[in-house]
Amino acid sequence: MADEEFSAFYAATYQRLLGQLVLLCGDRAEAEDALQEAFARAAVRWHRLRSYQAPEAWVWRVALNLTRMAARRLRRRTAALLRLGSAPAAAELSAETVDLLVALRALPLAQRQVLVLHHLVGLPVAEVARELGLPVGTVKTRLARGRRALARRLALDPEEVSRHG
């Protein structure tokens, strides 16, 4: 019964509240996000809210507060970005780097993690194991399998790759 009651409340008030919120914040997506979150909060409190004289006012207030918080976060983020200035120019990626990225992306996540942490970040095997919460033997196995798979993807000699790893 309460679920049906909340569904009816939602259907009766959503469009009206959305229209008001869009006018207030000027962005439909932002208004929808805030209103959906407000209704989600209302749904879990519906047993109490349904006895309110105006539960719609509660949802409105929550949605309004959410849009205000989002606006504050945006202002703080914008101010921080302005203080930082423009981002440094990104270096052009070489063809080899692009090939490596494509090949790494094709590997299972577990192999990709150990390969990147060990070979690209430069962590020792024991540190990789500690970071990932794995036994050292598991890291070594994933490294070996990952190197072989990466060598196949890059059409390299797997023996040559193993000697350099």
Paired tokens of 146: 């990952």
Residues 38 and 62: beta-carbon distance below 8 Å: yes
d(CA 162, CA 35): 55
> How high is the pLDDT of residue 2?
76
Contacts within 8 Å (CB) and 24+ apart, 17-26: 17/56, 17/59, 17/60, 17/63, 20/60, 21/63, 21/64, 21/67, 24/64, 24/67, 25/67, 25/71
> How high is the pLDDT of residue 163?
52
> How high is the pLDDT of residue 159?
59
Whether the predicted model's global pTM rises above the 0.75 cut: no
CA quadruple 30, 66, 7, 49: dihedral, nearest 10:
-170
* pLDDT per 10-residue tile (average), the chain, 165 residues: 90 95 90 96 95 95 94 89 81 85 90 92 93 94 94 74 52
Q: Which domains does the chain have, with CATH numbers?
A: 2-84 (1.10.1740), 95-164 (1.10.10.10)
> How high is the pLDDT of residue 74?
87
**N-terminal to C-terminal alpha carbon distance within the chain:** 64
Backbone angles phi, psi at 23, to 5 degrees: -65, -35
Q: At a CB cut-off of 8 Å and minimum separation 6, what does 158 contact?
A: 147, 148, 151, 152
